[in-house]
């Protein structure tokens, strides 16, 4: 629907009566905007600061190899953060994404690989089908989630928790707990190829985030996510097809998780039973640190990206600084809690969920 | 019935002989056994500001949802300018015909004003939203409406009045020339109301017609030309505002209820220090400077419209809210502010506003619900003796004639009336010195209502002070005194022998010169 011209906004019809007189009084316009934008880039200084500390701690930090490694390590999980960020903005959540990361490439490998070696099913579909199959699995999982949450109106937390367990169980069932290896070239390609000096997975991640930023910031469908998350009744009253949007976003989310699984499998050259296991906590942490509200309707995709990037840079600096791996989880948790307290203070709103 | 009156000369913007903006003809709507609208008709002439008034449950909201296309009538027709209304599914068509500002805000507070104005129809350049163009348009729109806001600000930074105006501007921007305003002043203060009315008059001057729903009769005399009264799902009358007095209007709204007024007012107020003493109690933004006391055996009622602050006041007395200033004493002691536990031990028992929210744990048994406040009397060392509990519960079930299979039945499976009796039973469980009842008979059948009123009489005979907070006339009947609140202040105190019309007039804010 095209907007009418501004003069026709209040009055569409016959005679053109004059709108009420308008002595314009604008209040501090620019500064508001600047603050709103600032929230978006709030983590950039933190990332720079951690980078500076990293440079001081270890000469390795600023090397090209190390930075590329950080980017590649976070490229797969960042796709899940992108998915979860959209779902959280919508006012929902999806815990099952991490199981999709494992299951989607596992099913592809199972159908493509021979019985031995590789632990495949034995059908041995052509290797070129592996990526489309994995993505298709993601689509199906999203549709099932939508069916349960939107159509049957079940609680999203429990549904996706159930799916998390079911999907992980399905994976261990078909793989008999084994790791799929000897993956076809098409699956390895995305995880191993270098384009213009950067791994393909990094390009994929950056590209999809760019699309996400544009879609949620600058398209009508994207903005409807914020409307639904902010006030679902108002969104419905504005003619937004709430159920359809939720369904589509859940499906896009699962598909992104499947893609993350393909990238991970490609990089490691195999699909392990544990792939993606436990990611969901880091995913939520990254999104929330990046300014996505657990209550829906707030936050940006760019913010989510800086959130997960910050977490991985901190981890990298800690590792380079010689902190024992056993302490990393403790520090991760402390960072998450600290970030929550800061966002609570800065937003001034209680976080209830 | 005056269903198709024309008011050609009505209003400052004379309609140029065109068809009425909207006609609702012989509308009937039922929800299960209750009839929400019984064969009512309403016609809003072109360019007219038409008020629709009636007490709670008169059917106003149902009519609004039917003429704005949210619900379909069981029988009857809706016509816009003589043409039949579009089908319910066609939201866009409805929006071009009728704009509505609902009681509940449909502004999304986490989004900017600009985005709220263009929700789901953002200005796009190709597939991508052009924020700059949209902001510019939005700013022009609010400037036209003289809303002094920067459209880039988040909606939660606006004042109530500004949000209201943004909502009106948005509703009308779809092209409708007819707008329904459902209680637009409910959250505004006096000056906000005046400014809103100035705006509405300006809008009307451009030829827009209004249907104006309000509880406040004074407002109708200020900005409407025609008024229709509904009562008990029926159309009672339609008249030019200029031809009717406030008394006539109040009588039309209350109907024959004066006859019922003959119920005896028996006072068993006893000598002795007041049980409840409230002195200059205030809570910022809710109520100001409220002072009164309730003696032993006395029943005092507090009434007022939805925004009057009566519920906030009651919730402050029972410890659900904290007062900003002033003092509150129960039996001479001041309970800790904002602590229900402290209020209970000071001798307060209360029925909360909404039994579904604060009154009952529907998944627990009747016995557990009844004894929730007195578990420490049910056993030793923190244990609960089920036999003691059930014995107590059985007594309450008998005293309040609760229809339940036994103490173990789940509270959620009782009928509404019996649920409310359980809530009342819980309020009485600690033998309170002061009983505070908020909407005690809301959603309750006639027989349960009678039982609950009897209970009130019984406890007052025993010397308990009772405070009833409600907007239902029937709830107020046992009261010796009625305090009427308006915009957060007690404006009127009606002594024994009060009439329904006094209460209604005071509630609607009639007879107050200094506003």
Kindly report the CATH number assigned to the domain that includes residue A182.
1.10.3470
Question: Is the separation of the CB atoms in B369 and B361 below 8 Å?
Answer: yes
CB contact (8 A) between residue B120 and residue A6:
no
Distance (Å, rounded) from C-alpha B303 to C-alpha B17?
44
Q: What ranges make up the beta strands (E) of B32-155?
A: 34-44, 49-53, 75-80, 83-84, 99-101, 124-125, 128-129
A30 part of a folded domain: no
pLDDT digits (tens, 9 = 90+) for B466-500: 999 988 787 888 888 899 998 888 988 888 777 87
Q: Going residue by residue through chain B (515 aa), what tens digit of pLDDT does each one get?
A: 334 333 333 333 444 456 899 999 999 998 877 788 989 999 999 999 999 988 766 888 889 989 988 888 999 999 999 889 888 878 788 888 898 888 778 888 889 999 999 888 887 777 888 888 888 999 998 888 878 888 888 888 888 788 888 888 888 888 888 999 988 876 676 677 888 888 888 888 888 999 998 877 778 888 899 999 988 888 988 999 888 888 888 888 877 544 344 344 455 556 678 899 999 999 888 899 999 989 888 899 999 877 788 889 999 999 888 888 999 999 888 988 888 888 888 889 898 888 777 778 878 888 888 888 777 777 777 777 888 888 888 988 988 888 888 888 888 888 778 888 898 998 888 889 999 999 888 777 767 788 888 888 888 888 899 999 988 787 888 888 899 998 888 988 888 777 878 888 888 776 544 43
A249 Cα to chain B: minimum distance (Å): 17
Q: Do A32 and B152 touch (CB under 8 A)?
A: yes
pTM for the whole thing?
Answer: 0.70
Q: Is residue B337 within 8 Å of B379, Cβ to Cβ?
A: no
Q: Are B323 and B281 in contact (CB under 8 A)?
A: yes
Q: How far apart are CA B88 and CA B106, in angstroms?
A: 20
The residue ranges of every structural domain in chain B are 1-98+176-258, 108-174, 263-507
Taking contacts as CB-CB distances below 8 angstroms, the residues of chain B near A220 are 120-122, 124, 129
Q: Do B119 and A17 touch (CB under 8 A)?
A: no
Has residue A154 been placed in a domain? yes
Strand pairing category for B325-330 and B276-283: antiparallel
Smallest Cβ–Cβ distance between A27 and the set B124, B131, B150 belongs to: B150
As a CATH number, domain B263-507 is 3.40.50.300
What gap in Å lies between CA B209 and CA B217, rounded to an integer?
A: 19
* Beta-strand runs (E) in B287-444: 287-294, 299-304, 325-330, 348-351, 434-438
Residues of A in contact with B127 (CB under 8 A): 219
CB atoms within 10 A of CB A64: 8
Assess A116–B contact: CB distance below 8 Å, yes or no.
Answer: no
Query: Chain-centre distance of CA B91, in angstroms?
Result: 28
Q: Is residue A26 part of a domain?
A: no
The CATH number for B1-98+176-258, chosen from 1.50.10.10, 3.30.565.10, 3.40.50.300, 2.30.30.90, is 3.40.50.300
Q: State whether residue A283 sits within 8 Å of chain B by CB.
A: no
Q: Could you check whether the bond before residue B89 is cis, i.e. omega within 30 degrees of 0? A: no
CB distance A219–B127 less than 8 Å?
yes
Q: CA-nearest residue of chain A to B18?
A: A14
Q: Do A224 and B128 touch (CB under 8 A)?
A: no
A151 found inside a domain: yes
Residue pair B247/B76 in contact by the 8 Å Cβ criterion: no
Alpha helices per DSSP H over A196-300: 200-218, 220-230, 232-237, 242-268, 279-289
Q: Which residues of B touch A4 (CB under 8 A)?
A: 175
Question: Is the residue at A193 inside a domain?
Answer: yes
Give a yes or no: residue A246 inside a domain: yes
Q: How far is CA B514 from CA A222, B184, B373, B443, in A?
A: 50, 21, 45, 36
Q: How many domains does chain A have?
A: 1
- A31 lies in some domain: no
Chain A residues with beta carbon closer than 8 angstroms to that of B172: 10
Q: Provide the shortest C-alpha distance from residue A236 to chain B (in Å).
A: 10
Q: Compare CB distances from B119 to A15, A24, A227 and report the shortest one's residue.
A: A227
Q: Which of residues 50-69 of A touch B (CB under 8 A)?
A: none
> Is the Cβ–Cβ distance between B209 and B155 less than 8 Å?
no
Would residue A251 count as lying in a domain?
Answer: yes
Tell me, yes or no, if A19 comes closer than 8 A to chain B by beta carbon: yes
**Where in the sequence is the domain holding A179, given as residue range(s)?**
43-52+59-344
- Contact list in B for residue A240 (CB cut-off 8 A) is 119-120
Question: What are the distances in angstroms from CA B192 to CA A30, A234, B163, B199?
Answer: 27, 24, 12, 11
Q: Which residues of A touch B115 (CB under 8 A)?
A: 223, 226
**Is any Cβ of chain B less than 8 angstroms from the Cβ of A226?**
yes
Residue of chain B minimizing CA distance to A17: B206
Assembly ipTM = 0.71
Collect all residues with Cβ–Cβ distance below 8 Å to A112 and sequence separation of at least 6. A120, A124, A125, A126, A127, A129, A130, A133, A183, A184
Residue A45 contacts B where some CB pair is shorter than 8 Å: no
């Amino acid at each position: 629907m095209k907007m009418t011209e501004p003069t026709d906004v209040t009055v569409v019809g016959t005679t053109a009566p004059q709108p009420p007189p308008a002595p314009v009084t604008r209040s501090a316009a620019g500064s508001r905007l600047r603050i709103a934008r600032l929230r978006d880039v709030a983590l950039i200084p933190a990332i720079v600061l951690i980078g500076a500390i990293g440079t001081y701690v270890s000469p390795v930090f600023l090397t090209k190899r190390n930075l590329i490694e950080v980017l590649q390590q976070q490229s797969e999980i960042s796709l899940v953060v992108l998915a979860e960020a959209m779902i959280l903005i919508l006012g929902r959540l999806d815990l099952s994404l991490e199981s999709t990361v494992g299951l989607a490439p596992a099913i592809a490998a199972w159908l493509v690989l021979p019985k031995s070696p590789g632990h495949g099913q034995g059908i041995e579909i052509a290797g070129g089908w592996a990526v489309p199959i994995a993505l298709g699995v993601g689509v199906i999982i999203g549709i099932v989630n939508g069916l349960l949450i939107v159509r049957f109106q079940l609680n999203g937390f429990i549904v996706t928790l159930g799916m998390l367990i079911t999907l992980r169980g399905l994976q261990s069932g078909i793989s008999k707990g084994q790791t799929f290896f000897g993956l076809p070239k098409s699956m390895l390609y995305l995880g191993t190829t270098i384009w213009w000096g950067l791994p393909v997975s990094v390009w994929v991640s950056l590209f999809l985030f760019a699309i996400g930023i544009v879609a949620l910031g600058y398209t009508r469908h994207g903005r409807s996510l914020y409307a639904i998350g902010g006030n679902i009744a108002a969104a419905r009253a504005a003619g937004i097809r709430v159920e359809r949007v939720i369904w589509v976003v859940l499906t896009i989310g699962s598909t992104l998780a499947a893609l993350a699984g393909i990238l991970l499998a490609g990089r490691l050259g195999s699909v392990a039973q544990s792939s993606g296991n436990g990611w969901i906590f880091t995913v939520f942490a990254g999104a929330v640190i990046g300014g996505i509200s657990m209550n829906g309707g707030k936050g940006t995709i760019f913010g989510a990206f800086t959130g997960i990037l910050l977490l991985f840079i901190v981890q990298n600096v800690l590792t380079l600084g010689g902190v024992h791996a056993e302490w990393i989880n403790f520090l991760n948790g402390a960072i998450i809690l600290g970030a929550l307290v800061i966002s609570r203070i800065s937003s001034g709103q209680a976080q209830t969920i | 019935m005056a269903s198709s009156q024309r008011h050609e000369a009505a209003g400052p913007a004379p309609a140029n002989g065109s068809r009425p903006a909207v006609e609702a003809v012989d509308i009937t709507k039922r929800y299960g056994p209750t009839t929400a609208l019984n064969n009512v008709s309403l016609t809003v002439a072109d360019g007219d500001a038409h008020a629709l008034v009636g007490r709670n449950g008169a059917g106003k909201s149902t009519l609004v949802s039917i003429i704005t296309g949210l619900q379909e009538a069981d029988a009857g027709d809706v016509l816009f300018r003589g043409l039949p209304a579009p089908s319910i599914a066609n939201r866009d068509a409805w929006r071009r015909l009728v704009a509505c500002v609902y009681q509940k805000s449909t502004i999304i507070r986490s989004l900017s004003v600009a985005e709220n104005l263009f929700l789901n129809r953002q200005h796009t350049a190709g597939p991508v939203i052009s924020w700059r163009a949209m902001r510019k348009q939005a700013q022009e729109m609010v400037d036209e409406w003289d809303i002094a806001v920067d459209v880039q600000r988040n909606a939660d930074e606006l004042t109530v009045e500004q949000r209201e105006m943004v909502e009106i501007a948005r509703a009308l921007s779809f092209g409708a020339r007819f707008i329904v305003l459902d209680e637009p002043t409910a959250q505004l203060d006096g000056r906000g109301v005046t400014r809103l009315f100035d705006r509405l008059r300006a809008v009307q001057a451009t030829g827009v017609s209004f249907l104006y729903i309000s509880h406040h009769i004074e407002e109708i005399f200020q900005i409407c030309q025609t008024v229709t009264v509904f009562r008990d799902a029926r159309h009672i009358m339609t008249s030019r505002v200029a031809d009717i007095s406030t008394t006539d209007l109040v009588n039309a709204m209350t109907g024959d209820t004066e006859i019922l007024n003959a119920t005896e007012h028996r006072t068993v107020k006893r000598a002795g220090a007041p049980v409840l003493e409230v002195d200059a109690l205030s809570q910022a933004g809710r109520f100001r400077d409220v002072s009164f006391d309730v003696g032993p055996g006395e029943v005092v009622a507090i009434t007022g419209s939805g925004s009057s602050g009566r519920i906030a006041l009651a919730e402050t007395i029972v410890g659900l809210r904290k007062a900003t200033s002033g003092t509150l004493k129960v039996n001479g002691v001041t309970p800790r502010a904002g602590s229900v536990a402290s209020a209970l031990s000071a001798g307060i028992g209360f029925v909360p506003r909404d039994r579904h929210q604060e009154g009952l744990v529907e998944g627990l048994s009747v016995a557990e619900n009844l004894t929730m406040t007195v578990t420490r009397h049910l056993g030793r060392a923190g244990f609960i003796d089920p036999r003691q509990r059930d014995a107590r519960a059985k007594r309450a079930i008998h005293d309040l004639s609760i229809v339940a299979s036994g103490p173990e039945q789940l509270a959620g499976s009782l009928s509404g009336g019996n649920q409310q009796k359980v809530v009342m039973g819980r309020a009485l469980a600690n033998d309170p010195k002061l009983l505070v009842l908020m909407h005690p008979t809301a959603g309750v059948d006639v027989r349960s209502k009678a039982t609950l009123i009897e209970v009130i009489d019984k406890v007052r005979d025993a010397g308990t002070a009772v405070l009833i907070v409600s907007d239902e006339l029937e709830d107020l009947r046992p009261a010796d005194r009625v305090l009427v609140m308006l915009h957060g202040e007690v404006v009127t105190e009606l002594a024994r022998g009060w009439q329904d019309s006094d209460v209604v007039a005071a509630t609607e804010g009639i007879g107050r010169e200094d506003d």
